[in-house]
Structure 1
Amino acid sequence: MKSTLLEQEKPASAVSAPAIDAALVWLMAITCGLVVANIYYNQPLLADIGNTFHLSDSKVSLIATATQIGYTLGLFLVVPLGDKVERKRLILLKLLCAAAAMALAAFAPSFVVLVVASVLIGIFSAVPQLLIPMAASLANDEDRGRIVGKVMSGLLIGILLSRTISGYVGAHFGWRTMFWAGSAAMVVLTGVLALKLPTSRPSFTGTYASLMKSLVSLTRDLQPLRRAALVGGFLFAGFSVFWTTLVFFLEGSPYHYGSDVVGFFGLIGACGALAAPLAGKAADKKGPDYAIRIGLLLALAAYAILGFGGYHLAGLVVGVIILDVGVQATHISNQSSIFALIPEARSRLNTVYMTAYFIGGSLGSLAGGFAWANAGWAGVSATGFSFVLAAFLINQLYRRKQQAR
């Protein structure tokens, strides 16, 4: 099986650096956080953007949708190239393009231009999904989970804190300033990474068409990849159910909180990012399967707490922390597991996994909005629990199949 998958591969040679050091890991983590933030800056700014262009709430929300669509396109069409072209060059090119797209958004004279810029921002902000496989390739087998976890922690913090930063900048300096600042950050990152990031030798020698076809082959032939994709997709659906509806819950009874307090829950959720390196370490010591099971059980427990105790602040805070820890522990362990499958195809393995992951997230957002509109917080909790339970049962089913062999 493996020989057919790798018929157009050549053995992956070591990158120029003999080992990955702590400074490089931190640089990768910071880069992931700053780049992924590009995707989420616009969300707290939508009302201000709508006022600028005299748009309805439903129409201006297309900006956030366009950015997500662009990110999915970048993930599926560009990230696989990490196995075919030199990764450092690809990363630097994408950062420069992201800087240009952010500048276009800041300058946008019309809503149409801003939507186009938003799609481009999404496409060129998929850099973290190139850096994470690169970090996995640089790390040795004993430390791979821990290294991936540290790099992922930067990504998670960027996602959680980007809304808070953007909301503050937008309120005090205007929404265009946030995009200009993001563009400048991409330029600075390009310069730093040009000096510090090691180079690598591509492992795939076929055409782009054969590269994309290999995504189908990898998915078909690698059961652990299918398992990780399904478990990750359903789990992220459960995660998205919560974060999509939390703002509605907090603005109503019994809390009646404003947007400033709602943003504070993003800081609470950052506790999940702290669990990422710990989850990676557990995957290194006891295997990814162990950490995945623990993460799924934590996510199930979190929804039980949120469903029954979410009407009390303490219960809501505890539930948020446990949910984030459980989701991130499972996510990091899933990635550790797939990166060990075929080292020469790590970018494509990550593409398959993350595409399923974001499809699940989109499904969860839709389901969460429907559940809130029809059954309130009880419906949200039940829906989120159901998605996580599906992830748990799928994982158990694949474990039994593997043990039966």
Structure 2
Amino acid sequence: MTPVLTFLFALAGGAAVGNLYWAQPLLDVIAADLGASPAAAGWLVTLTQIGYAAGILLVVPLGDVLDRRRLVPAMMGLSALALLACAAAPGFAVLLTALCALGLCTVAGQLLTPLAGDLADPARRGRVVGTVASGLLTGILVSRAVSGLVAGAAGWRTVYVAAAVLDAVLAVVLLWRVPADRARDRVPYVRLIGSVFALVRTERTVRWTLVLGACGFGAFTLFWTALTFLLSAPPFGYPVTVIGLFGLAGLAGALAAQRSGRLHDRGLSLPATGVAWVLALAAFAVAAAGARSVLLILLAIVLLDVAVQGQNLLNQSRLFTVSAGARSRLNTAFVVGNFVGGAAGSAAAGLLWTAGGWPAVCTAGAVVSVVALGVWALGRRGPLVAGPVAQGSGT
């Protein structure tokens, strides 16, 4: 993993995962344009994440048996086609279908992350994976900001056309620069998918980490989906161009993820994960107090993104130490768990906002944080994988 290749992996992964979030700051705009309610608009994010979880489960395990030099560009190309379908959607139902297809195809980032782990020197694996993961996180945050700016200037459909062009260009570059993959044993597809569940069933570290990851991403999407409703309503009343810019405050989370990789390399994964959940709880407390304060909302964004993205990288790096030969499948289990939690969080955001507004959203986020802290405290007592030197079978 040379610095140039690491940067390319981070850039391509960020572009891929950013496809899941173009709609997030545009929910009110898209709903108004296509005649949908605010509660229904939340499903634009939810169905994208459900499709993504399905793509992770059905496609990413192939990274352990197929040549990723061809597989990654192919998925980027399919994402470009799905983005064009989103741009051309004539109605809300068609857009939901196209976004679900987009989620199914946009898995290149989760193929590149375990590939980076395979190519990296073991002593630097946490740092390399952290850099690639920070690219993915930056893609999430930048996509929200760019989405609002482009939609404000040229309409929400232009956002998806521009993203399609970017994915198509990156597909060509990846085909040129990704190293040829090593030869591996062929495994029947059904058996390959089944082995993902076998890893979850047999490895305690995997199960514990999946619960923490799902809680983290559920809290993350709960907050960010509801934040769109908060900032577009009184007393703020911000347009989409301004709402999208709030995502830039979360860039602190991407920096935290990169630093978290170094903590993992030093064997501090478990205690750092606990600290991250304390920060998440503090973030929701600050958010609840800041329903009418831009400064407090910005502080809550920074705290939550540092907490969730930092512990997300620690969880992922910990999983990659379980089995060197099954990293794509471990990543599959991890991301599916995350996005099931994320889909639940975004769906709950609309319901909670309708039922109790911002206080209900913040209370739910605090409850999730407390539950996750309990899971962390109970799970860390056992013989869990704590650093890069531990290796399990897992295959």
Measured in 1, the distance between the counterparts of 2:357 and 2:132 equals 36
| 8 Å CA contact retained: 1:102, 1:182 | yes
Letter in 2 for 1:283: H
Could you tell which deviates more after superposition, 86-95 or 67-76? 67-76
Measured in 2, the distance between the counterparts of 1:256 and 1:218 equals 48
Question: Counterpart in 2 of 1:201?
Answer: 182
Question: Counterpart in 2 of 1:330?
Answer: 311
Question: Counterpart in 2 of 1:40?
Answer: 21
Q: TM-score when scaled to structure 2?
A: 0.89
Deviations 1:288-334 (A, max 9, x none): 21321221222122223333455433332222211110111100000
Q: Could you tell me which runs of 5 or more consecutive residues in structure 1 were left unpaired when the two chains were aligned.
A: 1-19
| 8 Å CA contact retained: 1:229, 1:357 | yes
Letter in 2 for 1:233: A
| 8 Å CA contact retained: 2:125, 2:265 | yes
Choose which of 206, 210, 213 in structure 2 pairs with 1:229: 210
Could you tell which deviates more after superposition, 367-376 or 65-74? 367-376
Residue 234 to residue 204, structure 1, CA distance change in 2 (3 Å): farther
| 8 Å CA contact retained: 1:44, 1:163 | yes
CA drift at 1:192 = 1.0
Does the residue aligned with 1:401 lie in a helix, a strand or coil?
Answer: coil
Measured in 2, the distance between the counterparts of 1:277 and 1:161 equals 17
Could you tell which deviates more after superposition, 372-381 or 274-283? 372-381
| 8 Å CA contact retained: 2:117, 2:320 | yes
Choose which of 17, 23, 45 in structure 1 pairs with 2:4: 23
Question: Counterpart in 2 of 1:177?
Answer: 158
Q: Indicate whether 1:56 and 2:36 are aligned.
A: yes
Computed over aligned residues only, the root mean square deviation of the Cα atoms, in angstroms, reads 2.4
Measured in 1, the distance between the counterparts of 2:173 and 2:11 equals 11
Question: Counterpart in 2 of 1:129?
Answer: 110
CA drift at 1:271 = 1.6
Measured in 2, the distance between the counterparts of 1:120 and 1:36 equals 14
Q: Could you tell me which runs of 5 or more consecutive residues in structure 2 were left unpaired when the two chains were aligned.
A: 385-395
Question: Counterpart in 2 of 1:14?
Answer: none
| 8 Å CA contact retained: 2:18, 2:143 | yes
Q: Indicate whether 1:266 and 2:286 are aligned.
A: no
Q: TM-score when scaled to structure 1?
A: 0.87
| 8 Å CA contact retained: 2:148, 2:245 | no
| 8 Å CA contact retained: 1:238, 1:386 | no
Question: Counterpart in 1 of 2:144?
Answer: 163
After TM superposition, the structure 1 = structure 2 runs for residues 351-366 of structure 1, keeping only pairs within 5 Å, are 351-366=332-347
Question: Counterpart in 1 of 2:79?
Answer: 98
CA drift at 1:266 = 0.8
Question: Counterpart in 2 of 1:78?
Answer: 59
Measured in 2, the distance between the counterparts of 1:306 and 1:46 equals 21
Does the residue aligned with 2:35 lie in a helix, a strand or coil?
Answer: coil
Identity %: 38
Question: Counterpart in 2 of 1:67?
Answer: 48
CA drift at 1:108 = 4.5
Aligned length: 383
Could you tell which deviates more after superposition, 23-32 or 66-75? 66-75
Measured in 2, the distance between the counterparts of 1:240 and 1:309 equals 18
